[in-house]
Amino acid sequence: MTKKQKSYPEVGELVVCRVSNVVDFGAFVELEEYGQKEGLIHISELASGWIKHVKDHVQEDQKVVCKVLEVNPQKQQINLSLKDVNEHQKRQKIQEWKNEQKADRWLEFVAEKMDSDVETVNEEITNKVIDDYGGLMHAVFEDVALEGTTPLIEQGVKKEWAETFEEIAEENVEIPYVDITGYLELKSRNSNGVEKIKKSLKEGSKIEKDNAKIKISYVGAPYYRIRINATDYKTAEAILEEVSNRVLKKMEQQGGEGQFHRNIEEAE
């Protein structure tokens, strides 16, 4: 269930807020992801240490990221903390919030394409997949942009809806890619050693991974560069290891020798 479908946030959750009113004992805020429900940051939760003026720490209309301390739906009361959120958490949460705003617009595009409305899109797609993605629709769009309709079809989304969702994902999602590099030191004392090295490198080049690019290039005897372009570092590292291991194994089978180095400086 998305945050917009939930009435109140959970204790411990990080939420994006807009400061609506600054008072002597703290600041009232509107929770952006929960229909502008009102929350309170008590002066003691603004920052560590003694606070003389609340306005030294927050201003009206300022966007802040807070941690939920207490929720009381009966009293319509939400108590929040600003001091319990570090800079890394703040940046990460703001980016997540911006991504979800984009996803909301993309859902509207899906609705328009299907000559429908967002409520129907939620019934046909969102409600069927959202739990598996921690409530983040942007992540669903990313997966569909990478893998096609499979993540949707597996969750029971009808083909027509899944294909429209895929079309919007491909048009709007920019997949972040990462690059990593490693080096192989390859040697063969055999008279046709160059050919053996070529065969070993070709063995590594045979590896194919969805949404990843593998490039092996010559640096200068006896070093060869492996460059991996993938959607995340974990995937890239795994591919780099697989490629290097396959090349080294082929070299060994042919009576040659080799070593993997993460940086060429350590090899030299």
Whether residues 112 and 79 fall in one domain: no
Whether residues 129 and 203 fall in one domain: no
- The Cα 258–Cα 167 span in angstroms is 46
Whether residues 257 and 228 fall in one domain: yes
- The Cα 233–Cα 143 span in angstroms is 16
- The Cα 35–Cα 32 span in angstroms is 6
pLDDT value at position 32? 94
Exposure of 161 in the CB half-sphere (CA atoms within 13 A): 22
The DSSP string of 152-179 is HHTTT--HHHHHHHHHHHHHH-----EE
Residue 6 lies in a domain: no
Whether residues 244 and 186 fall in one domain: yes
pLDDT value at position 7? 85
Record the tokens describing residue 191, joined without a space. Answer: 């008279």
Phi, then psi, of 152 in degrees rounded to 5:
-85, -45
Q: What is the pTM of this model?
A: 0.66
Whether 2 shows a pLDDT value over 60: the answer reads no
Neighbours of 169 (CB within 10 A): 25
pLDDT value at position 265? 67
CATH code of the domain covering residue 148: 1.10.150.190
Q: Indicate the range of 20-24, 36-40, 173-177 predicted with least confidence.
A: 173-177
With b for 16 or more beta-carbon neighbours within 10 A and e for fewer, the 190-219 pattern comes to eeebeebbebbbebbeeeeeeebebebeee
Number of domains in the chain: 3
Q: Residue 61 gets which letter from DSSP?
A: T
CATH code of the domain covering residue 62: 2.40.50.140
pLDDT value at position 21? 96
- Structural domain that includes position 259: 178-267
Residue 212 lies in a domain: yes
Residue type, 130: I
pLDDT value at position 211? 78
User: What are 229-260's pLDDT values in tens digits?
Assistant: 988 889 999 999 999 999 999 999 999 999 99
User: What are 94-144's pLDDT values in tens digits?
Assistant: 999 999 999 999 999 999 999 999 999 999 999 999 988 888 999 999 999
Whether 68 shows a pLDDT value over 60: the answer reads yes
Whether 176 shows a pLDDT value over 90: the answer reads no
Whether residues 93 and 74 fall in one domain: no
Residue 9 lies in a domain: no
User: What are 58-67's pLDDT values in tens digits?
Assistant: 999 999 999 9
Residue 225 lies in a domain: yes
pLDDT value at position 266? 60
- The Cα 228–Cα 226 span in angstroms is 7
What is the percent of the chain with per-residue pLDDT over 90, rounded to a whole number? 79
Residue 8 lies in a domain: no
Q: Which residue has the tokens 């959120």?
A: 85
Quickly state the pLDDT bin for 1 (edges 50, 70, 90): very low
Arithmetic mean of pLDDT, 258-265: 86
pLDDT value at position 193? 87
- The Cα 52–Cα 162 span in angstroms is 55
Whether 190 shows a pLDDT value over 70: the answer reads yes
| Degrees, nearest 5: CA angle 121-123-96 | 65
CATH code of the domain covering residue 224: 3.30.70.1130
Whether residues 238 and 195 fall in one domain: yes
Residue 61 lies in a domain: yes
Whether 14 shows a pLDDT value over 70: the answer reads yes
pLDDT value at position 267? 54
Boundary-marking domain end, from 24, 58, 85: 85
